[in-house]
Amino acid sequence: MALVYVVDDNDLLRDSVREALVREEHEVETFPHPVAALEALEQRRCHVVVSDLKMPRMDGITFLKEVLCLDSEMPVILMTAFASVTSAVEAMKLGAFDYIQKPFEAVEIALLVDRAYQLRCLKVDNEALRVSLADRAPKRVLVGDSRLVREVRQRCAQVADSIATVLVTGESGTGKELVSREIHNLSPRADRAFLAVNCAAISSNLLESELFGHERGAFTGADRERKGRFELADGGTLLLDEISEMPMPLQAKLLRILQERQFERVGSSVTRDVDVRVIATTNCNLAEWVGRGKFREDLFYRLNVLPIAVPPLRDRRDDVAMLADHFLAQIARRDGRKQAQVEPAAYRVLRDYHWPGNVRELENICERATVLGGRDVIRAATIEAWLQGEITQQDEFRNLRPGYLIHDMERQLIERTLVQFNGHREKTARTLGIGVRTLGMKLKKWQEEARQAG
């Protein structure tokens, strides 16, 4: 059932169109002139607009332009007399969905509205699918048969049917997004969109627009309206990855949408309803962040309704061999090559390693072993040398000799932490326990020293 706005200064025609559409079980609101219709559109979006072409106060062409400024995807059907067909064709070029020539039968306008509504729904579904496919990583299952993995699978199945918010916690690289996808795939929403937003990868001033969308002209560069992830994920699941990185002002807005299931686009006062199941992930202890005033307490309790903790790989070593075989098979299929075999001694090396980078690190090692370690058999000595190199790099600061300059040690620590976080200054400063401004001053100083030395 569509919500249709009918605009015509002719009371008889306006009521006739309304009756024809109500018989087809559409919800209809009528307006005697375009100004009233535009005011209604600013408060509540409809699905289809049916408007006369010739009206006082504002003609149909101007009204069409105003409607498309509010919603560029809105299908607008124009009613026109024979003498105004040329104007109707002009309106089609400007973006009108179609026009219908007076006089017309009730069934004609009903069929035209049905077509417009179906197209509107199709465009929304296609956009959601496009974003979902763009965000979707190669589909994988939760690999492993250890007790801890079986418990995670069981918890995913338990929470899948609920619409309550899930908080997935665990160290970096443990597979929190895979757990989130598993929940979605097991839920009644599995055939709808699964969208993911990395809160740490988007600047704070753009994250609000990414989540809630924006209207044209809402800020510099907003040359057209844009649907946000909540709107695109309507009926499906939205993953908020690294939720701890969300700025405080946005946390308040997220709390509202979780409580009321309503939001406004940036630059708009129109309240929109949305049905989205939210899953949040973090590698931080949010309870501690709440105590330090870095995360809203009310949002934490709203997110932490159904908690799932993903275990680190070092606690599920029995899964290492199965995971390695899984990654090697994936790499072989991707590259069109025969799957490399792992000698028993190499499996033991993998199992005994402590995996600070968790499953992601194991995947990287499998990739390296396939490319550099030999196409047929992966040897223990090869893997051991790489893992020893990782250990040496991590323990380098523990083996510093007396006389090592504090200035040099500080610089290496900062530089390596920057590399670890891909140049993200806020994360680097927080990890090192210094301010972002202090970090920036140090980097600027070292750059100046490098220029002078050069």
- Whole-number average pLDDT of the chain: 84
> Mean pLDDT throughout 151-174?
93
The whole-angstrom separation of Cα 407 and Cα 390 is 25
- pLDDT number for residue 137: 46
Instruction: Determine the CATH number of domain 136-311.
Output: 3.40.50.300
Cα dihedral 341/345/348/354 (nearest 10): -90
> Mean pLDDT throughout 175-184?
93
Spans of all domains in the chain: 3-123, 136-311, 314-394, 401-453
Q: Which of 70-79, 163-172, 319-328, 394-403 has the lowest mean pLDDT?
A: 394-403
pLDDT single digits (tens) 185-201? 999 999 899 999 988 87
Q: Which of 29, 83, 91 is nearest to 59 (CA)?
A: 91
Q: Which residues contact 267 (CB under 8 A, 6 or more apart)?
A: 214, 215, 216, 217, 218, 219, 222
Residue 180, both tokens: 């989130």
Would you say the pTM of this structure is higher than 0.95? no
The whole-angstrom separation of Cα 248 and Cα 208 is 12
Q: What kind of fold does domain 401-453 have according to CATH?
A: Arc Repressor Mutant, subunit A (1.10.10)
- pLDDT number for residue 141: 64
> Mean pLDDT throughout 284-298?
91
Q: What kind of fold does domain 3-123 have according to CATH?
A: Rossmann fold (3.40.50)
Cβ count near 239 (within 10 Å): 26
Give me the DSSP letters along 206-232.
Answer: HHHHHHHEE-TTSSTT--S-EE-HHHH
* Helical packing angle, 436-453 and 425-432, nearest 10°: 110
pLDDT single digits (tens) 363-382? 988 888 887 766 678 888 88
pLDDT single digits (tens) 248-268? 989 999 999 999 988 888 888
Model confidence at 389: pLDDT above 70 = no
How much of the chain, in percent, has pLDDT values that exceed 70?
A: 89
Instruction: Determine the CATH number of domain 314-394.
Output: 1.10.8.60
Q: Which residue has the higher pLDDT, 5 or 391?
A: 5
- Are 136-311 and 401-453 the same fold in CATH? no
Q: How confident is the model at residue 420 (pLDDT cuts 50, 70, 90)?
A: low
